[in-house]
Amino acid sequence: MIDVDALRSRFPALSRTLDGTPVVYADGPGGTQVPQSVIDAMAAPLSEGVSNTGGPFPASEAAGTIVDAARSAVADLFGAEPDQVVFGQNMTSLNLSLSRAIGRTLGRDDEIVVTNLDHDANITPWRLAAADRGATLRTASFDPADGALAADAVAAQIGPRTRVVAVAGASNALGTLTPLRDIVAAARAAGAIVVVDAVHLTPHRAIDVAAIDADVVLASAYKFFGPHTGIMVGRRGVLSDITPYKLTASSDRSPGSWETGTQSFESLAGVTAAVDHIASLGEGDSRRARILGAMARVAEHERGLAARFLAGLSEMPSVRLYGIADPGRLDERAPTFALAVQGRHPREVSAALGERGIFVWDGHYYAVDVMRHLGVLDDGGLVRIGFVQYTTPGEVDRILGALSDVAAG
């Protein structure tokens, strides 16, 4: 089990108060807080001095060391190798670059398959790529009754002309975990490139890119207690075979060919520290082993929080949960919950919770197609409440109490 009190002491932001009361960060799906180790790691190159890479002097060599360390850390996080790791401004920018590069190889007879359970960052880039080339975009839909995405629903959209299948590992809106292996297998059988958005999956489950068997996996460090940096992990040979839009002077080899301009070295130092923070929660002879142990403990802790929250919600008839509500199916969801309070606009609910020191999101939170499929987009979307490794059972109870008060008017 995780010692949550000891864990929370690492995060300076968790000591924040509102009118003398500790705040609750229940907005983890939109971005997590960072431990002091990440803050210190990011400050170090700025205070000590760092130059661009490639120079024959210590400050430049230090930058190269930071980049190499970050690639190694992310490789351990995803079960990959350092030369498979690409960094960028954010996941969205990386996916736009990827879709643009793949898009220029498409023909009018080609098809791209996406799912409407995804974040818009893994839908619109492919929609634009298809539109630019006159290709067809096909959409696999999730079940609005429980937010589940069946592998068969995706496989039904895949055909001999499918060139790309883009799917999320977990929904940032409903918390649904997708059956990745079955979906990837269906795409692989058709010879399609598989792109997995693992942004919401990474803070909640251990990831093994080799086991998933996808061609490209995307993530964002600020969702797993790090800085705002995008990550792309590519299968060997795939990113090298795709020609990205790049400057003439840039490297012609992946991963450097995908990294436009100068990287944020302070951010990459923070990425390494974020991975090391996760690893510190586990045990083992290697960082990868410690990460796997840590994520098993995190998943156990979060299942307890989710069960507690679902039990509380079941006693509030005026609060409707969208997504998996069955406590027997906790292994099919992350502790991310989308809900509506009868008679109250989502913004009104989130504002009322905010006044009580509970920070949550409302609206579509870039899951536009999810909200459209649920029929709530034009009504202001939903309220999203999310738990992460530093959330306590007491905070869950406090959220439930506040929700009950808001629902009662």
Task: Report, as an integer, the average pLDDT of 248-262.
Answer: 88
- The pLDDT of residue 351 is 98
- The pLDDT of residue 278 is 98
DSSP character at residue 146: T
- The pLDDT of residue 114 is 98
Reported confidence tier of residue 334, pLDDT bands at 50, 70, 90: very high
Residue type, 317: P
Tokens read off for 409: 């008017």
Q: Provide the greatest CA pair distance for the chain.
A: 67
Backbone angles phi, psi at 87, to 5 degrees: -115, 150
Calpha distance 264→150 (Å, rounded): 39
Residue type, 30: G
Task: Report, as an integer, the average pLDDT of 396-400.
Answer: 98
Task: Report, as an integer, the average pLDDT of 45-63.
Answer: 94
Task: Report, as an integer, the average pLDDT of 263-269.
Answer: 97
Reported confidence tier of residue 73, pLDDT bands at 50, 70, 90: very high
- The pLDDT of residue 33 is 98
- Locate the DSSP E strands across 171-303: 193-197, 216-220, 230-234
Q: What is the pLDDT of residues 158-200, one digit of tens each?
A: 999 999 999 999 999 999 999 999 999 999 999 999 999 999 9
User: Domains of the chain by range and CATH?
Assistant: 4-36+287-407 (3.90.1150.10), 41-278 (3.40.640.10)
Calpha distance 121→35 (Å, rounded): 27
Instruction: Give the SS3 label for residue 239.
Output: helix
- The pLDDT of residue 409 is 83
| pLDDT of 253 above 90 | no
Calpha distance 409→403 (Å, rounded): 10
Tokens read off for 273: 């520290």
Backbone angles phi, psi at 17, to 5 degrees: -130, 160
Tokens read off for 178: 């997708």
Calpha distance 263→43 (Å, rounded): 16
Q: Count Cβ neighbours within 10 Å for each residue of 365-376 and write b for 16 or more, e otherwise.
A: bbbbbbbebbeb
Residue type, 156: A
| pLDDT of 249 above 90 | no
Total-model pTM: 0.96
| pLDDT of 252 above 90 | no
Task: Report, as an integer, the average pLDDT of 88-117.
Answer: 97
- Residues across the chain: 409
- The pLDDT of residue 237 is 87
The gap from C-alpha 304 to its chain's centroid, in whole angstroms, comes to 21
Calpha distance 243→101 (Å, rounded): 6
User: How do beta strands 17-18 and 216-220 pair?
Assistant: unpaired
Helices (H), 17-167: 36-48, 58-78, 91-103, 124-133, 151-155
Q: What is the pLDDT of residues 5-15, one digit of tens each?
A: 999 999 999 99
The CA-CA-CA angle for residues 55, 60, 65, to 5°, reads: 120
